[in-house]
Amino acid sequence: MDNGLANSTELKTGSEAETGKLYLLELSGGRIHSMYADGSNRKTIVTDCHLPDGIVVDIEAGHIYWTNMGEPKANDGSIERADLDGGNRTVIVPPGGTFTPKQIHLEKRSGKLYWCDREGMRVMRANLDGTKVETLVQTGQGDDDRSDATRWCVGITVDPDAGHVYWTQKGPDNAGLGYIFRAGIEMPEGDAPAERSDIEVVFDGLPEPIDLEIDLRNRVLYWTDRGNPPDGNTVNRAPLDPLAEEAQVPEIVVSDLMEGIGIALDVRHDRMFFTDLGGSVYSARLDGSEKKTLLYAQGNLAGVAFI
């Protein structure tokens, strides 16, 4: 399907195409790995994480941040920070400061971390040191609402240029009840997290949307979906401007994943990286072509970050 989305640059070749580093979360082993962007030189840099799910890198400050889901039915989620080599590990949002944190996003302009809280049914943010934890969106309250997967917030990204935060609510497994929403970065005056007047539906009826990323240069939204084929187990994209037009249909650029989860973009070199719960790490051009498997059968994988 052709939605007229332009790639940022031609794919680089040789050593330039292999520049950069990936940080990868191994959900089943509770570990964080670093590796080159071609999958080589893999190192375990953090161990004993409590079901890690989302990861971001602040290259300027020399930090990685990640979420620990904890036990999904217990209010014991947390967020940690460490140096790029895994040293100086510290908890910045302690257990219980968030219920089940999922994907996390670093917004450097404002100095904020944004994340989705699945069983907490929230979109949240905090300062980079973990202070001033805020709830921006609240989709439910209490155990009855918590059992409703349509209220679960999972993936998140921020468009600072237009002043929007985007998030997914994945819905039950393979139910076709997944949503992508957006709202203003700042809450309208007089509104509350559970009663925001500026929430917009970007896409609905999706199989099971998970993680989100934005190519700010070309104004394109990307996301993974772990629902059933043909629309699920995919990487998808859609133009941001204008978004959610009545006739717009997301473009599937990659298919045949084994429960797609994490996604990271390298716009400069026209490539993306993505993971699945089957334990594989892949790369492809931003249009989905030239898909390569970098690692295979590496346990249950979750978030991935690129620098």
Residue 248: pLDDT band (50, 70, 90) is confident
CB-based burial label for 176 (10 Å; 0-12, 13-18, 19+)? middle
User: Whole-angstrom Cα distance, residue 240 to residue 206?
Assistant: 17
* β-bridge mates for residue 24, sequence order: 33, 304
State pTM to two decimals.
0.92
* Domains of the chain by start residue, with CATH: 44-261+270-306 (2.120.10.30)
Asked, as a colleague might, if the bond just before 242 is cis with ω within 30 of 0, I would say yes
Residue 245: pLDDT band (50, 70, 90) is low
Q: Is the pLDDT of residue 243 over 80?
A: no
Asked, as a colleague might, if the bond just before 101 is cis with ω within 30 of 0, I would say no
Q: Which of 165, 287, 281, 153 is nearest to 214 (CA)?
A: 165
What is the predicted pLDDT for the residue at 196?
97
First to last CA, the chain: 30
Residue 252: pLDDT band (50, 70, 90) is very high
Token pair, residue 119, equals 């069983």
Model confidence pLDDT, tens digit, residues 119-150: 999 999 999 999 999 999 999 999 999 999 99
Residue 14: pLDDT band (50, 70, 90) is very low
Token pair, residue 205, equals 């009826």
Average pLDDT value over all residues in the chain = 92
> Which three-class secondary structure state does DSSP give residue 150?
helix
